[in-house]
Amino acid sequence: MRVSDRTVPTLRDVANAAEVSVGTASKVLSGASGVSAERARRVWDAARRMGYRRNGIAADLRRGRPTSIGLVLPDLTNPFFVDIARALETHALQHGYQLILAHAGEDPERETERIRFVMSRQVAGMIVIPCSGYQRAQHAIAEARECHVPLVMADRVDDTFPANTVTTNSRSASAEGTAHLIALGHKRIAFLVNTLKLVNSRERAEGYMDAMHNANLDTYVSVVECGMTAAQSHAATLKILSGSMRPTALFTGCNVTTLGALRAIRDADLRIPLDVSLLSFDDAPWMSVLRPYLTSIRQPVEAIGHAIWQLMLKLLSGQQDECVHLSFTAELLVRESTAHAPAETAVSG
């Protein structure tokens, strides 16, 4: 008989040791009232002495009212998602909910797996930022809906999705950013996007095209799909920069893409904004250390996180039946990485 066989003390063990019934012990340890001070003390003592740890799983199971919320994120490397997670966790904790974080790593299969896992944990609600658009996640999402689990989806979804959604108005923000570039005299503006399979990325690309079209610059439109990783974006940008008729401005569709593009610009030995202007959709902490400071489009992360949580609360309390679609406005932060387009002669030289 090994020492490790000594099983962890259960509620019954504590009750026995304190010489009270399990019912009484349960009341004391779950903080309910209606127990004499004397017996309550005995229970606490016994619990502490035996190193009792309440089995939250069993409690949830019995109560049938889970206390945790699942959050499935596509990529922890992206500060935007991390900020969302931080905001949500704070809100959840304040309302007595625990957040179960799951990480899909931009892998659709793993995402499905993670969603199923979270569901199997009997969460009270689920918040999902899908990793490959809802086309792929569709199946797992449908399962969640069938189980009547309150579901909020964010960021990489749009209003047509049959779930509660919280998004950023990517299209108009992107158009505004592009207009800013055009106003500076740029014509050859390339738009770098991770993948057009992602709804929000697609919207950003559309916003770019809207603005180009409005300025009669259709012939200059150049949307380049360059993959989900910084390494891929790096390679793609390198190719763009080395081609003839190099763009005078780059508009990167997200955080990660920006990172890769910057590496390429660095490798190509180009100066920002003298040789090429750069506008980034998505802000990130590290951008502030760059010289020049990057001009970027910032999504209102806190507001988005707050909205997601408020929506979830309503859903949890049953105050909300039909699907709601919330949209937020991103903000263009003009800083130092965008400047007037170089004169044509300078470019060709």
- For its own copies, the binding residues (CB under 8 A) are 4, 6, 8, 51, 53-58, 60-61, 76-77, 79, 82, 85-86, 89-90, 93, 98-103, 105, 110, 113, 117, 119-122, 143, 146-148, 230, 259, 262-263, 266, 284-286, 288-291, 293, 318
| Size (the chain), residues | 349
The interface partner of residue 331, options being DNA, its own copies, none and the CB cut-off 5 to 8 Å by kind, is none
The interface partner of residue 323, options being its own copies, DNA, none and the CB cut-off 5 to 8 Å by kind, is none
Binding residues (CB under 7 A) for DNA: these are 7-8, 10-12, 19-24, 26-27, 29-30, 32, 34-36, 38-39, 54-55, 58-59, 61-64
The interface partner of residue 30, options being DNA, its own copies, none and the CB cut-off 5 to 8 Å by kind, is DNA
- Joined tokens for residue 67: 């206390």
Minimum distance from CB of 48 to DNA (Å)? 14
In three-state secondary structure terms, 36 is: coil
Burial (CB count within 10 angstroms: exposed 0-12, middle 13-18, buried 19+), residue 249:
buried
CA-to-CA distance for 297 and 329, rounded, in angstroms?
10
Closest C-alpha among 172, 167, 115, 169 to residue 146: 115
Q: How many CA atoms lie within 13 A of 336 on its CB side?
A: 9
CA-to-CA distance for 218 and 285, rounded, in angstroms?
34
* Residue at token pair 């889970």: 66
How far the first Cα of the chain sits from its last, in Å, is: 84
Minimum CB distance to DNA smaller for 33 or for 160? 33
CA-to-CA distance for 306 and 244, rounded, in angstroms?
47
Minimum distance from CB of 296 to its own copies (Å)? 14
The interface partner of residue 286, options being DNA, its own copies, none and the CB cut-off 5 to 8 Å by kind, is its own copies
Specify whether the CB–CB gap between 46 and 18 falls below 8 A.
Answer: yes
- Note if the bond before 292 is cis, omega within 30 degrees: yes
Closest C-alpha among 301, 311, 319, 328 to residue 69: 311
Minimum distance from CB of 18 to its own copies (Å)? 18
What is the maximum span of the chain, computed from C-alpha positions, in angstroms? Answer: 92
Minimum distance from CB of 204 to DNA (Å)? 42
- Joined tokens for residue 282: 């998505």
The interface partner of residue 275, options being DNA, its own copies, none and the CB cut-off 5 to 8 Å by kind, is none
117 CB-near residues (< 8 Å, 6+ apart): 102
Minimum CB distance to DNA smaller for 39 or for 110? 39
Minimum distance from CB of 122 to its own copies (Å)? 5
In three-state secondary structure terms, 151 is: strand
The interface partner of residue 26, options being DNA, its own copies, none and the CB cut-off 5 to 8 Å by kind, is DNA
Minimum CB distance to its own copies smaller for 107 or for 206? 107
Minimum distance from CB of 322 to its own copies (Å)? 13
The interface partner of residue 183, options being its own copies, DNA, none and the CB cut-off 5 to 8 Å by kind, is none
* Residue at token pair 């209003």: 159
Minimum distance from CB of 58 to DNA (Å)? 4
- Joined tokens for residue 134: 């809802």
Minimum CB distance to its own copies smaller for 82 or for 196? 82
Residue type, 268: A
Minimum distance from CB of 261 to its own copies (Å)? 9
Minimum CB distance to DNA smaller for 120 or for 244? 120
Minimum CB distance to DNA smaller for 22 or for 347? 22
The interface partner of residue 63, options being DNA, its own copies, none and the CB cut-off 5 to 8 Å by kind, is DNA
